[in-house]
Chain A
């Protein structure tokens, strides 16, 4: 039973600093260096920050996504940099022992990460240890040092909130504002489906290093991560501008990496850093293998479907009335919808802008 020397808890220092440099650059703060980030993450403090994870109406995909994290590795992240003190998918304790643990960890200082939506019209559509999701949010939100929604369900209700939303599913901030009596809830939304571990680590690092919450856009997303569209960072972008489009799966255009807009790509309407962070240890990201489906945007299941048709009547000013060909040749139009700054085909680290989406670029929370 061999144990590889290279594995386990000894991630290379170089890889770790590379990640910290990425986080520092992503924050866009010139005064913060990779070393500052490393120090914050490496527990200069006597106690590792306690992270408590709740899962409500969810598929567990955000938890599985976290387990794909690299730099820091999952083992380092949860045992060395933070203390993952409650997470039902991975924790040993169950039943009464888990209930006791929940009481204990939520009585101290903790950062609260939420996966999944809460149900409001059928509160009992999500129950843990006999409590409904909304009861747990009511009790826990006021106690948490910061609340972070990971994945589109906890942000905006996601798939179970799609029409006709059978359970009244809502994101955590939506619930607090609309039903929970909290006028201005402070919740950091890290959407995408599933949530992305790099988003979470970068956001935690931001909070730990600066002692402040990152600047958020109008729907709760950190601007340092969600300031640009998929389209901005797409390696197919040059073909969009040149009017070269894939027409059907596996055609000549596909082989030449042409633009997927006409087979349904939602990249122009989707603010997300996928092209920069990529997925699964930077192995790939969606548009290598299919059109973006807009999973970081609120209500994409209703407003950005059908997925495999050229974008339907989306309420994005300046685009709805134009064909792909017109957009492809009309850079002025692209600029009008906030797609100005981009470097074709180049995916480099530290390229996040501080600029947010234009005010009217999408509908915001309803």
Chain B
């Protein structure tokens, strides 16, 4: 059967290749191949454990801060530190809130929107305001110059673009405006963290510096701009375009298993009490949220270029991390070298007793919080369902549309809580609770794990200390879940599974595949 290949998948973090078999206009099989390997777990060995979070940030330059967070918690746990001082806990929440504030805006407009918003069709709009006219003039100037830059050679004439020109123009204007909003959030992150990407002020045992009043006030002002944009522009854009693409609610349900490690600690620093709490959902049953345990993760490597024995899932710290000989990107099912067929640099993470593939991401975070009855989340989900004409039907979220909506809702929840972290920190400072760091010597041995939710999903780091150095290290980022290969039992990864059954209008221009993959923000 002829295969449809998309390589490169653009508008993502990193490098991804998608291969599909399409029969009678429908995807019947799919494979995702991560086409980059760097070897973090190998070169992090033998290092000072306190340096780990600086290495870990470089795993992903779109979401370095959550990597830093999960890593520093893993380090602390391995060093025997259970909780950091409360002012450090709140400072971390501030920094993470700025990161969430930037990341979902960037995804919605700059990584995702061009799958739905036809920039060239914006030229056909009647501009209703001077500023929209200015944007339209600029788009026209770009088009007439013949130098289309980032908008060049795309499938703009694909019949899947359905918005009226006025909405295309408005969303194009918001695309440009969002460039400034993501900067507004990151400016606050940089003011608190030194710079972004790659912040400076975490430390194993807390943070390096207590924010000054000036820094906190700047954070409040910047996050107010972000909240205003999310409330008055981004949420409205979601509601405006959803009716035109309501077919997305019919596709992309996938396995229906969801995992969250949690986001934003309260004073207990227990993941289950986080604003977006930890939890596990199986088989789409959002009424039954189970506990999430970092030690229930197993890694499988049958279909990736690593060398564990086939059929045996390994704890992340014990999984094979040395690369095997590369074969081909086309040996999905078998090859002379590897009868099982290897096609990716990504290992497969699976969860629990029966080694389930789990979807991670804002939708998972929101569903777990909703299932656990976190009131702020229940309210925002219910009101959005009502706005899109599906009151009381959270099950419509179990789809490609839900994955898009999940990111917007998570951005909304984050923006709503941003002021609270500032208030908590000001109150702590007011009462003299200003300690931000507890020193602990690096022990000879220890083991720890840290879970956190990056904007693209549940993220865990694991560390084993041996002889006062990093003896073994493992990162299990969202890619190991969502973009996992088939596991050793030949169960597809979530992105692969989500593509099955997807109708493709034109296999030469598989826009639907691009859309579906982008809902995961890979």
Contact = CB atoms under 8 A, between A and B. Distances in A.
Interface of A: 1-5, 7-10, 47-48, 50, 55-65, 67-68, 70, 73-75, 78-79, 83-85, 87-101, 104, 119, 122, 124-130, 158-160, 162-167, 169, 193-194, 248-250, 254, 279-281, 283-291, 293, 295, 301, 305-309
A250 B436 contact: yes
B10 A89 contact: yes
Contacts of A279: 190, 194-196
A60 B110 CA distance: 14
B153 A104 contact: yes
A199 to B, nearest CB: 13
B47 A74 contact: no
B393 interface: no
B147 A94 contact: no
B28 to A, nearest CB: 19
B8 interface: yes
A281 B187 contact: yes
Interface string B15-53: 101000000000000000001111110110001101100
A4 B138 contact: no
B36 A57 contact: yes
Nearest to B37: A125
B482 interface: no
B413 to A, nearest CB: 21
A9 B201 contact: no
Contacts of A159: 38, 40, 43, 55, 58
Nearest to B44: A162
8 contacts: A59-B61, A67-B179, A88-B11, A91-B152, A92-B114, A166-B323, A167-B39, A289-B193
A94 B11 contact: yes
A182 B434 CA distance: 57
Contacts of A158: 58
Contacts of A47: 145, 147
B276 interface: no
Interface string B165-208: 00000100110110110110011011111111111110101111
A166 B147 contact: no
Given A3-B173, A73-B180, A79-B142, A290 B200 contact: yes
Given A1-B237, A194-B198, A289-B192, A127 B152 contact: no
Contact of B196 (A68, A130, A160): A68
A177 B363 CA distance: 48
A284 B154 CA distance: 38
B9 interface: yes
Given A78-B150, A104-B153, A124-B326, A96 B179 contact: no
Given A64-B62, A88-B8, A129-B8, A57 B38 contact: yes
A96 B153 CA distance: 10
Given A128-B15, A193-B198, A301 B62 contact: no
A128 B35 contact: yes
A61 B64 CA distance: 8
Contact of A127 (B15, B42, B129): B15
B236 A1 contact: yes
Contacts of B514: 94-95
A63 B509 CA distance: 26
Interface in B331-358: 345
B48 A254 contact: no
B10 A93 contact: yes
A119 B39 CA distance: 11
B209 A289 contact: yes
A284 B194 contact: yes
A48 to B, nearest CB: 6
B209 A59 contact: no
A59 B203 CA distance: 22
Contact of A169 (B5, B38, B156, B194): B38
Given A290-B209, A306-B50, A308-B51, A280 B196 contact: yes
A79 B150 CA distance: 9
A74 to B, nearest CB: 5
A45 B113 CA distance: 32
Contact of B174 (A3, A61, A78): A3
Contact of B147 (A50, A57, A165): A50
A193 B58 contact: yes
Given A95-B8, A166-B43, A2 B191 contact: no
Contacts of A194: 61, 197-198
Contacts of A164: 42-43
B11 A91 contact: yes
| B119, B142, B182, B194 interface centre (most CB from chain A within 10 Å) | B194
Given A87-B150, A307-B54, 15 more contacts: A1-B170, A1-B174, A1-B233, A4-B131, A8-B135, A8-B138, A59-B59, A74-B183, A91-B11, A94-B9, A95-B510, A284-B195, A306-B47, A307-B50, A308-B50
Interface in B112-156: 114, 119, 129-132, 134-135, 138, 142, 145, 147, 149-156
A94 B517 CA distance: 12
Contact of B131 (A8, A48, A58, A98): A8
Nearest to A309: B48
A2 B51 contact: no
B43 A85 contact: no
B471 to A, nearest CB: 15
Nearest to B237: A1
Contacts of B64: 59, 61
A277 to B, nearest CB: 11
Contacts of A3: 129, 131-132, 135, 170, 173-174, 177
Contacts of A305: 47-48, 51
Contacts of B36: 56-57, 125-127
Contacts of A60: 13-14, 60-62
A56 B37 CA distance: 10
A85 B151 CA distance: 8
B7 interface: yes
A170 to B, nearest CB: 13
Contacts of A75: 176, 179
A78 B13 CA distance: 20
